[in-house]
Chain A
């Protein structure tokens, strides 16, 4: 059954709730049809399609709750899953942090479902890959790429009358092109809700050019450099800030947003005053669901404004304890961009390094949000406003918080994909001074 309409989902969940005898009951229903195709060495390697549904029932007696699930949807199965969750709730210890389910909410109409993406066929995927491979073969280069499309829905309903439904589509594509001699490598990534915006040829062309231009890279000394980070490289660094916008961690003193004396950086200046970061489920270029996993409405939220932390996210429990609005964490994030293209950022750089992609990002110190990782698939030395030559890859140790304090310029915002989380964001290229490279890597 995989994809249910709003009314089909409502009917199924109403029936499920009709079996409930607990103090509270909440039902979550999801379905997903996803397809993928993977290629390497200029040929397809694996490809598949997965279809699945799940119905999760949470029942509660006082502060005791139990969860059970099923993927069969006849009446007997629906009653069985409700009974099972109730039995588990009776057996569970009390959770002092249990919060009663939400009452009915009002949600904006989401815009993240595109029929064209939902209609993708195996042939469509294969054609898109064929177009990509045509570019790599024409250029005597070797392509490895991945395409994954998703067509899914989520719905929830509870005994207080809350009902929420969202259908969504997404397609992510990435391509790494290597020269035949293995001395050059280039990368491009794209993510959209609407597959008609995705052109695998253009992305492959960019990756191929980077591969050719990055061959026979020179080694230069590690150290502090001005860097221009392309949006895909910015994504893997800034998302660590997005993931860390949790009030409880900050209040408890164990976050980069914590301060001495039990204070937090909420309301404090954290980064350069040109930095504005927000989330907006109705942004036409990055639409997301208009409700979050526990039924709270997702609204446009400013997280950092003019460099000052304006909001942190709260669980409903922590918000009640702190007597503040329970702002849910963002599904995605947008950093307000400038007006300069990547080429204009390069043109205005006396000495610096252009970074296409960052890889294997890991936390080193949660106190400063220090991260480590490496450049990859196209790293170039810039002098006097021009790319001069490719350079060998570096390991960096840098905090995105320090980086946003060392901001030189902000490029135009574009939609990009984090290769670490697969999340889509709207982010600009950034020019940053004193970015810390700590060693060289021989990797191509």
Chain B
């Protein structure tokens, strides 16, 4: 699937409500090591040839308001242990939230029993890429301000002033929220690693509706923020973090109040905006929009588990088959297109020190000068590509979920020559400038996609002439990336992303960022999405 629920105001509450004071307390790593050793020893004793243990404490805070009221303040905590084993050549997994030694040992034994039971259904044994143990190590996200330490009142006051600004501008309804995440993860394995990690994420967002009561028409405009791997400092916007244009855009920091003020006016303007004439357009895509196109059309098709068929029943397979990679000449895009995978970019949602298999994280090329050169792998896939080490793409969204291959940050590299957004727009005769992410859908092999947006501006003869609505574009992945006609330079490079990249059965959510600068694509098919019912 894709960035499921990224734009949905209905926020899933994962875990259980708890209180703020408790959220600031950390579990002592030496206690976690003791618990991990109980599981490792119990599994080994029952015949496991490999075991890893994840003790996870997943903290979320949601502050949700609408118009002039606080709707919900929820603190959730999910704490428990997941134990994964290889026994008789196959995987087994069991998870428990009872962390006394007996319960841990029983869960480990169950994981081994499941692996043994299922081993009769294997065609070949699990083959793990070698991984050295790191001993006792730790990694902490480099945040400046822990959002969980910011008083609730400060958060409520911010959101209520955001709502007020949007309503003054012309919005009829607004839901605004702050969604804070802290993953305290402890990983241990029979390879000899004991890894303690502390990860923070934040997503400030709003969803605005304006209504024309006489006609019954309504329009929406969502925040131009992004979920990001930062602390509360993301909300301390400085002048140097703002990109001025037809609307203000944000780089690294976000001015929620300013965006809400603009959104209130823009959502009203959308009601009377010109409905797009369908046809071929050159589209200029802002990073607040393009990240999602990258996610769906570059991120998912280069997941090796999809390529191999492990996701065939749900998320699908991939058009980027191994023969295309082996040929070393498959033109995914034209020469402007360079796409990099990484798990290290500071501030990104995917950044961690080590993945959920205890592999130290790094960076590698996926698309180089338009050619497919690599995929995303984990330990039991590396040998398929002839690699002797995993690329560190293993992740589980909770202690109760089994880890599997998940997308690292997948980012389009900025243009090498100096080029601004204005330079890109200047050259367009008939085009549309699209800002913000909207509706999104792509097929199960990642060929055919359709994307909407938040703001659409018509470009005629190199100039923005006014707002459009009812816009969505459809294309084919390879055709689209070969139509790339320019990418702005590093100074325009920004991160977008989602907390809710959905994949797997049972489905799991993963947080991932995608960096890019504004880019232009020529001759893209635009449809009009307006319909009338009743």
Contacts and interface: CB of A to CB of B under 8 A. Distances in A.
B172 A253 contact: yes
* Residue with the highest number of chain A CB atoms closer than 10 Å, among B96, B124, B313: B313
A302 interface: no
A261 to B, nearest CB: 7
A270 B533 CA distance: 9
A95 interface: yes
A278 to B, nearest CB: 21
A142 interface: yes
Contact of A376 (B400, B444, B447): B444
Interface stretch (B337-345, B455-463, B523-531): B523-531
B429 interface: no
B409 to A, nearest CB: 22
Contacts of B211: 252-254
Contact of B313 (A130, A174, A260, A362): A174
B139 interface: no
A130 B120 CA distance: 9
A367 B1 CA distance: 25
B534 interface: yes
A148 interface: yes
Given A87-B19, A440-B448, A442-B447, A368 B531 contact: yes
Contact of A364 (B123, B152, B472): B472
Contacts of B92: 47-48
Given A69-B16, A374-B444, A122 B114 contact: yes
A176 B217 CA distance: 41
A220 to B, nearest CB: 15
Contacts of A270: 534
Interface string A363-403: 11111111011101000000000000000010101010110
B347 interface: no
B213 A262 contact: yes
B238 interface: no
B110 interface: yes
A253 B216 contact: yes
Contacts of B505: 36, 38, 146, 148
Interface in B3-52: 16-19, 22
A432 interface: no
Nearest to A259: B216
B470 interface: yes
Contacts of A393: 443, 448
B445 A444 contact: yes
Given A36-B505, A44-B90, A365-B531, A133 B439 contact: no
Contact of B121 (A68, A91, A130, A405): A130
Contacts of A399: 531, 533
Interface string B161-181: 000000000001100000000
B480 interface: no
B529 A442 contact: no
Contacts of B1: 360
B13 to A, nearest CB: 10
A146 B505 CA distance: 7
Contacts of B102: none
A234 interface: no
A93 interface: yes
B490 interface: no
A381 to B, nearest CB: 19
A419 interface: yes
A51 B96 contact: yes
A443 B309 contact: no
Interface in A184-222: 185
A372 to B, nearest CB: 5
Given A43-B123, A50-B95, A178 B309 contact: yes
Contact of B441 (A42, A256, A374): A374
A442 B448 contact: yes
B150 interface: no
Nearest to A400: B533
Interface string A103-123: 000000000000000000011
A145 interface: yes
A265 interface: yes
Given A48-B95, A88-B19, A130-B120, A401 B534 contact: yes
Interface string B86-129: 00001111111110000000000011011101101111100000
Contacts of B115: 47
B476 A442 contact: yes
B448 A443 contact: yes
Contacts of B173: 252, 254
A54 B98 CA distance: 12
B420 interface: no
A443 B152 CA distance: 48
A45 interface: yes
Given A46-B404, A443-B447, A265 B534 contact: yes
A84 interface: yes
B121 A44 contact: yes
Interface size on A, as a range, is: 35 or more
Contacts of B214: 260-261
Contacts of A91: 152
Given A253-B172, A439-B448, A48 B120 contact: no
A360 to B, nearest CB: 5
B94 A126 contact: no
Contacts, number: 253
B160 to A, nearest CB: 10
Nearest to B115: A47
A253 B121 contact: no
A87 B533 CA distance: 50
A35 to B, nearest CB: 9
A12 interface: no
B74 interface: yes
B441 A395 contact: yes
B385 interface: no
A259 B218 CA distance: 10
A372 B113 contact: no
A369 B218 CA distance: 12
A185 B314 CA distance: 12
Contact of B316 (A36, A359, A402): A359
Given A144-B310, A401-B533, A360 B439 contact: no
B80 interface: yes
B527 A438 contact: yes
Contacts of B18: 68-69
A39 interface: yes
B19 A178 contact: no
Contact of A93 (B74, B95, B156): B156
Contacts of A101: none
A370 B118 contact: no
A100 interface: no
Given A260-B214, A368-B532, A122 B118 contact: yes
A183 interface: no
Nearest to B96: A51
B199 to A, nearest CB: 22
Interface stretch (B65-73, B358-366, B369-377): B65-73
Interface string A345-367: 00000000000000111111111
25 contacts: A38-B505, A41-B123, A47-B114, A52-B96, A52-B400, A69-B16, A92-B70, A144-B311, A144-B312, A176-B313, A253-B211, A253-B216, A254-B173, A260-B215, A261-B213, A269-B534, A360-B443, A368-B533, A372-B441, A372-B450, A374-B443, A395-B474, A401-B534, A402-B533, A405-B533
Given A92-B70, A443-B445, 9 more contacts: A47-B118, A52-B400, A144-B309, A253-B211, A269-B534, A367-B218, A368-B530, A374-B448, A376-B316
Interface of A: 36-54, 56, 67-69, 71, 84, 87-88, 91-93, 95-97, 122-123, 126, 129-130, 133, 142, 144-146, 148, 174-176, 178, 182, 185, 252-254, 256, 258-262, 265, 268-270, 359-370, 372-374, 376, 393, 395, 397, 399, 401-402, 405, 419, 422, 438-444
3 nearest A-B pairs in the assembled complex, by CB-CB distance: A260-B216, A48-B93, A441-B448
